Chains A and B, each alone.
Chain A
């Protein structure tokens, strides 16, 4: 092995970086191990059958098994240093059952033993029976046909894990170099790459093998003016994607030019870092915003987060019903509002759809984690709330008999539950470009990129920042602003949406580490939109002195 081959191995540096806590049992491995094919599907089927049989024999009326191999590679750098290269692998089996009308779950790591898996299934049944004394109503599961032996894979042109780590560290160090030579005082850059190899089987007769890839290249550049005590940062305008390393090859058609370059299906990290460094320095000298009402023009790199918080989480049926009351909260989008068929969630321009089949999205899979075929459906139609996101044990509460396929667990070791599907704002029907949209704005702010974010526990009141703020005066971009945050109420905000650009501007944003549940789990989900305009939104000035 030579020095170059370091890049096929892992190294854990001394520097500490706050990382999300990932599920139990992840172990650091070499990069070479990430390329190993994993268990043959016939072995997975044998293990799954052992669990299903054991659960049934012990009295389970339903059982499902997830055999998961979860691979992660994180490459982290700071200025001219590689801080960390972390590869992890996590393999194990999770068994979920219904016994005595109650859910039970147990998991076991790193085994190919049918006996061990069967014992785990029995433990899940025992948990269900022990907890059934606290049960008020038995679980009611929507029927689901078995699909037999099927498979699905993220379309991958260039597998991230096949790219030598040196190529990745070279890329990030070049990105840092570009930022530093263009005005940044500090820069951190990271590549997150994930591969979930998931096998699902259930007593319904499904044996589903899936291979899911995700990637998130990102950075933060910082400019500091010690004399004035000011600091400005600019984060990357990349979107995390349900793609692999091919996302980092951008073609001219993937770039949208304007006040700054934004990206669609391919991302040029070097170009973005160069712009970010210059913009961070400009932000130090930008005019501080005057608080008041503005018309906001929001780029999809920003809007995705507002959609995520104010529509995505608000229309999760488990929240609506009260199952997340102790942590994430409930929702204002209550059942009576949906039943009324006339609840104005937004203006007539506002159409939201959920879609677990959206190409390149973080949530794209063939089947969810309880064996339901994924699909697209409407959430808000012409401004009216028309549906929720639900799973098999909830849909009967909506009077439906078929799940929408929103079940997900972040590991074989965690129990699957209702997680957000990709929720997107549909493009406007009329042809409209961003420039045409801005031309009509008299007093406004054009916001690009996501910043600080906060929303209440029922998803009414929110506050968002951003990365780049451009003042719009009489239809023209008039310069950069700083200290901008906007506050609104979900229903008011979406009702203030007056225009949405057409499908030519439609792009995905997304979040890689969305947390929910107790114990907390993470989920990755995308939100698409075209640039949209919102009239008369309350803007705050966030500068303070301490």
Chain B
């Protein structure tokens, strides 16, 4: 397994830097293993594993930057790669937005690593899949699911004395259960750092119940409805909002945070005052990377740069993005922050939306007439200025009347903006982990469904 300790990583990074003849140099070392098993129609369909470790070296000469990567770790290979990065830097066009590298930083401890996950093997994975499938077979249902686990590390250093190291594991599990007559479908997804928190059989039960309850869906008229968006659905809507917190885009007039006439909406009350959204990499339930720039979650993806990309090393810390509905903070690249004379806040690597204390059952009970949404699908931006998105409900959509789920309904297409949803809040539930974030179920009025879908 391509995972090494902090001391070993530092030794390699120090060696790289000792070869440098550039004005400044940064190095990123990433390694890990990613394994998976996939099943469909209650049978395994594929599975595999990948290991990798990669070193990315960036040399800065004046306002020029050059990078090179290597997967070999001999002194000769490393020195050759350092020289290559420097050669590229000398020949590169000057980048007017080049920012000098930053010095030593203090990083928060983030509880992302679990030995339970690191020890997983193919037998364990097969058993998880088996537990999920067998529960469905007993009820004459059909399961299609995917389990992926990863274990890895990332380390960064630069010639200004910066050093950071982080070890992480992650587990992602999802299953779609369909009835034998293909008239019902249910879905559930869970993600953790520690595999011990996953009970595949129990989790699959949720998808099974949704599948069985969603047969014989009725068509009702599209229009504006009160909706209860389960955390899976709410998470999808929020993603694009939270990834659009960049100040430069807003200053350029290209974002939902652009102010008419110029400038940004920082400090404005944009959404319901019950909404506070922050990021905190040390959150015990959904910890995230302690330093910025890498852009990865877990080690499932070795990105296009061939091993992680060049992190600029800014520390991730607790940042409140929306406080009681007010835009409290926005992210800045270092270049843009320097230009504006403000702190260069990196984009969040995870976010936590504060909720309320209502259970899903409470929310249903208090609903006179509404729609319960399990999941949103194929959500795409229609207009980034208003955050208008379109997409569909999927795998369990139910009509609620007088505080009770009455019957399953056909899926809807929606056209709606997260900003509008967060202005129409009726109630908030308890946040749960969803894709590395903490998201509550949300009850909101006047959610716009524009057409019906026959898809199951």
- Which residues on A are within 8 Å of B, measured CB to CB? 1-3, 5-6, 9-16, 19-28, 30, 72, 74, 81-82, 86, 88, 102-107, 109-110, 127, 130-137, 169, 185-186, 222, 224-231, 321-327, 329-330, 332, 413, 415, 417, 452-461, 463, 465, 485, 487, 489, 518-519, 538, 540, 542-546
Contact: B52 with A24, CB < 8 Å? yes
22 CB-based A-B contacts, threshold 8 Å: A9-B91, A12-B66, A13-B65, A14-B310, A19-B304, A82-B93, A86-B305, A88-B304, A134-B39, A185-B252, A224-B252, A229-B260, A457-B378, A460-B455, A461-B413, A461-B454, A487-B450, A487-B451, A519-B148, A538-B451, A546-B270, A546-B419
Question: Which 9 A-B pairs give the minimum distances between C-beta atoms?
Answer: A6-B91, A12-B67, A461-B453, A458-B455, A325-B144, A229-B260, A456-B455, A224-B253, A134-B44
Q: Could you tell me if B387 and A546 are in contact, using CB atoms closer than 8 angstroms?
A: yes
Determine, out of B14-22, B121-129, B226-234, the stretch whose residues face the partner at the interface.
Answer: B121-129
A138 to chain B, nearest CB (A): 10
Tell me whether B175 is interfacial, beta carbon within 8 Å. Answer: yes
Contact B52 A109, beta carbon cutoff 8 Å:
yes
Q: Which of B82-90, B281-289, B321-329, B400-408 contacts A (4 or more CB under 8 A)?
A: B82-90
**Interface 9-residue window, one of B5-13, B95-103, B366-374:** B95-103
Determine if B276 is an interface residue (Cβ-Cβ < 8 Å): no
Which residues of the partner chain B approach A185 to less than 8 Å between Cβ atoms?
252-253
A459 to B123: give the CA distance in the assembly, Å. Answer: 36
Which one, B109-117, B357-365, B390-398, B435-443, is touching chain A?
B390-398
- Are A12 and B305 neighbours in the complex by a CB distance under 8 Å? yes
* A12 touching B65, Cβ below 8 Å: yes
Chain A residue at minimal CB-CB distance from B262: A226
Contact A454 B379 (CB under 8 A): yes
Residues on B with beta carbons closer than 8 Å to the beta carbon of A544: 383, 386, 388, 417, 420
B176 at the interface (CB under 8 A from A): yes
Asked whether B300 is an interface residue with its Cβ less than 8 Å from the other chain, the reply is yes
Contacts of A228 in B (CB 8 A): 260
Contact with B44, one of A12, A131, A321, A546 (Cβ below 8 angstroms)? A131
Q: A12-B310, A13-B65, A22-B304 are in contact. Are A452 and B381 (CB under 8 A)?
A: yes
Residues 11 to 50 of chain B near chain A (Cβ within 8 Å): 34, 36-50
B1 sits at the interface (CB 8 A): no
Say yes or no: A329 contacts B455, CB within 8 Å: yes
Complex Cα–Cα for A519 and B172 (A): 11
Known: A28-B68, A131-B126, A456-B453. A136 touches B43 (CB 8 A): yes
Partner of A545, one of B45, B48, B377, B386: B386
Q: Are B41 and A322 in contact (CB under 8 A)?
A: yes
Partner of A134, one of B67, B133, B144, B293: B133
Q: Which residues of A contact B58 (CB under 8 A)?
A: 12
In the complex, chain A residues whose CB is within 8 Å of the CB of B213: none
What's the Cα separation between A22 and B302 when bound, in Å? 7
Q: Which residues of A contact B411 (CB under 8 A)?
A: 456, 461
Which chain B residues border A542 with CB–CB below 8 Å?
A: 382-383, 388, 415
B215 close to chain A: CB less than 8 A: no
Of B38, B98, B260, the contact of A14 (CB 8 Å cutoff) = B98
A311 to B451, CA, bound (A): 20
B100 to chain A, nearest CB (A): 11
A222 and B46 in contact, given A127-B122, A519-B148 (Cβ under 8 angstroms): no
CB atoms of B391 and A454 under 8 A apart: yes
CA distance A81 to B67 in the complex (A): 17
Interface pair A134/B52, CB less than 8 Å apart: no
Name the residue among B88, B185, B304, B333 with the largest chain A CB count within 10 angstroms.
B304
Chain B residues contacting A460 (CB-CB under 8 Å) are: 453-455
Q: Do A110 and B126 touch (CB < 8 A)? A: no
Tell me whether A9 and B65 are in contact in the complex, defined as CB-CB below 8 angstroms, given that A27-B71, A485-B390, A545-B386 are known contacts.
no
**A127 and B382 alpha carbons, distance in the complex (Å):** 43
Which residues of the partner chain B approach A222 to less than 8 Å between Cβ atoms? 254
Given A12-B310, A326-B146, A102 and B44 touching (CB < 8 A)?
yes
State whether A226 touches B123 (Cβ < 8 A): no
Chain A residues in 8 Å Cβ range of B145: 326
CA distance A321 to B43 in the complex (A): 13
The A interface is mostly helix, strand or loop, or mixed, namely loop
Given A9-B91, A28-B69, A322-B142, is A489 in contact with B454 using a C-beta cutoff of 8 Å? yes
Q: How far is the CB of A463 from chain B (nearest CB, A)?
A: 5
> How does the 8 Å CB contact mask read for B242-283 relative to A, with 1 for contact and 0 for none?
000000000011101011111000000010000000000000
Q: In the assembly, what is the distance between CA of A134 and CA of B295, in Å?
A: 35
Find out whether the CB atom of B88 lies under 8 angstroms from the CB atom of A6: yes
Task: Collect the chain A residues with CB atoms within 8 Å of residue B174's CB.
Answer: 326
Residue with the greatest number of chain B CB neighbours at <10 A, chosen from A131, A230, A489, A542: A131
- Told that A10-B66, A27-B71, A109-B52 touch, could you supply 9 new A-B pairs with CB distance under 8 A? A12-B58, A14-B98, A15-B97, A28-B69, A30-B88, A229-B258, A231-B384, A465-B382, A519-B300
The answer on a CB contact under 8 Å between A133 and B95 is no
Nearest chain A CB to B79 CB, angstrom units: 16
Q: Give per-residue flags for B56-75: 1 if the beta carbon is below 8 A from chain A beta carbons, else 0.
A: 10100000111111110000
Measured CB to CB, the closest approach of chain A to B309, in angstroms, equals: 8
Are A105 and B46 in contact, with the CB atoms below 8 A? Answer: yes
Distance between Cα atoms of A453 and B379 in the complex (Å): 9
Q: A326 to B144, Cβ gap below 8 A? A: yes
B380 near A: Cβ within 8 Å? yes
Report which of B70, B92, B301 forms a contact with A6, defined as CB distance below 8 A: B92
**B175:A326 contact, CB within 8 angstroms:** yes
Is there a chain A Cβ closer than 8 Å to B178's Cβ?
yes
Are B455 and A546 neighbours in the complex by a CB distance under 8 Å?
A: no
CB-CB under 8 A from B144, the residues of chain A are: 322-326
Cβ-closest chain B residue relative to A451: B382
Q: Please give, as numbers and ranges, the residues of chain B lying within 8 Å of A21 by CB-CB distance.
A: 301-304
Residues of B within 8 A of A14 (CB): 65, 95, 97-99, 310, 312, 335
Docked Cα-Cα span, A24 to B36, in Å, equals: 14
A323 in contact with B40 given A11-B65, A12-B305 (CB within 8 Å):
yes
Q: CA A186 – CA B58 in complex, angstroms?
A: 28
Whole-angstrom CA separation of A546 from B384 in the bound complex: 11
Q: Is the CB of A461 within 8 A of B451?
A: yes
B residues near A130, Cβ cutoff 8 Å? 122-123, 126
Residues of B within 8 Å of A326, CB to CB, are 40, 144-146, 174-176, 187
Residue numbers in B under 8 Å from A12 (CB-CB): 58, 65-67, 305, 310
Q: A222-B254, A322-B142, A485-B382 are in contact. Are A10 and B453 (CB under 8 A)?
A: no
Known: A81-B95, A134-B43, A332-B454. A20 touches B252 (CB 8 A): no
Pairwise interchain contact A3-B377, C-beta atoms closer than 8 A: no
| Known A86-B304, A224-B253; contact A229-B46, beta-carbon cutoff 8 A | no
B306 touches which one: A28, A225, A452 (CB < 8 A)?
A28
B415: chain A residues at CB < 8 Å are 463, 540, 542
**B206 in the interface, Cβ–Cβ < 8 Å?**
no
Q: Which residues of B contact A102 (CB under 8 A)?
A: 44
What CA separation (Å) do A30 and B69 show in the bound complex?
10
Is B214 engaged at the interface, CB distance under 8 Å to the other chain?
no
Q: Which residues of B contact A136 (CB under 8 A)?
A: 41-43
Q: Cβ of A465: which chain B residues have Cβ within 8 Å of it? A: 382
Asked if B385 lies at the interface with its beta carbon under 8 angstroms from chain A, I say: yes
Other-chain contact of A546, B41, B96, B176, B256 (Cβ < 8 Å): B256
Taken together as a complex, chains A and B put the C-alpha atoms of A13 and B45 apart, in Å, by 40
Nearest-Cβ distance from residue A25 to partner chain B, whole angstroms: 6
- How far apart are the CA atoms of A220 and B293 in the complex, in Å? 25
Partner of B390, one of A6, A16, A25, A454: A454
CB within 8 Å for A10 and B67 given contacts A461-B451, A540-B415, A546-B256: yes
Q: Which residues of B contact A26 (CB under 8 A)?
A: 302, 304, 306
- Nearest to B299 among chain A residues (CB) is A24
CA distance A324 to B46 in the complex (A): 12
